[in-house]
Amino acid sequence: MPQFPKLPWWATFGLSVVIFLTILLVLSPSLLVYSENPEKSDAILLLVGPVTKARRQYANELLDTGYGKVLLIPAFNQALDREGKRIPCNFTKRNKTKNYTLASQSGNSTRDTNISSLLCQYMEDTHRELLRGRKMMEALDIHSVNIVSSPYHLRRIKFISEHVFEHYPVTIHLTPTPYGPQPVKLWWTDRDQRWWVLNEWIKLIWFFIYSPFCSR
């Protein structure tokens, strides 16, 4: 058998990094994309963003076909029935940092509390939307929901919703809109796809950094 020369440790390490990054590059979209089938639920919860129109189109379809009785749009503080009429939804609006409590408030030092407060002030917008959505669901006694967003968005939403609804009894179905931009295999060749993937990874990593300091 032919004998291959033994590589120095730094070459082996460098080659391993290149292989890992290549695999990550190819698999990045599939790691971000998450999808579940919609189910008959109490409500449809719409998360807004760069392609809100495409998401709203699918949310309306789900509402019209009986997959929800109410359309919740937390970003706009709106709860709508199937005819598009506003439903009174009284819940307490909080300050700029919105519906969070500091995980460090339970007996930790002032320094830890200050760090937690600072991190929670930079909570990601989707997290804020889901926190407000929970308040709306509590006010309307909603315990099952189809959450509508874009395909690349839903992996992060899965982690955030598990955090937000940890102590609230609710059945959640994460349903991607079939309209608007969709994932493609050669995502790195498309400028918009590159933006979607990199943006989602940055936001997901940031969520894992600050979320332990912001508990319900």
Say if CB 133 and CB 72 are below 8 A apart: yes
Average model confidence (pLDDT) across the chain: 80
Decide which of 89 and 102 is more confident. 89
Domains belonging to the chain, first-starting first, are: 33-97+125-202 (3.40.50)
What pLDDT is stored for residue 201 in this prediction?
85
What pLDDT is stored for residue 130 in this prediction?
95
Alpha-carbon separation of residue 30 from 34, 153, 155, 195, 210 (angstroms):
8, 12, 10, 15, 24
Q: What is the pTM of this model?
A: 0.76
Decide which of 115 and 125 is more confident. 125
Share above pLDDT 90 across residues of the chain, in percent, rounded to a whole number = 43
Q: Which residue, chain included where needed, has tokens 């590159």?
A: 194
Say yes or no to pLDDT of 149 above 80: yes
Say yes or no to pLDDT of 126 above 80: yes
Distance CA 34, CA 25 (A): 17
> For 139-160, what is the mean pLDDT?
93
64-103 in b/e form (b: 16+ CB < 10 A) is eeebbbbbbbbbeeebbeeeeeeeebebeeeeeebbbebb
> For 81-103, what is the mean pLDDT?
63
What pLDDT is stored for residue 41 in this prediction?
96
Instruction: Quick: pLDDT tens for 51-90.
Output: 889 999 999 999 999 999 999 999 999 999 998 899 887 7
What pLDDT is stored for residue 131 in this prediction?
94
Q: Which residue, chain included where needed, has tokens 């979209």?
A: 29
Decide which of 17 and 132 is more confident. 132
> For 23-52, what is the mean pLDDT?
82
What pLDDT is stored for residue 57 in this prediction?
95
Say yes or no to pLDDT of 212 above 50: yes
What pLDDT is stored for residue 3 in this prediction?
60
What pLDDT is stored for residue 127 in this prediction?
94
What pLDDT is stored for residue 100 in this prediction?
43
> For 127-146, what is the mean pLDDT?
95
Instruction: Quick: pLDDT tens for 153-206.
Output: 899 999 999 999 998 999 999 999 999 777 666 666 777 777 778 888 889 889
* Host H or E run for residue 79: strand 78-80
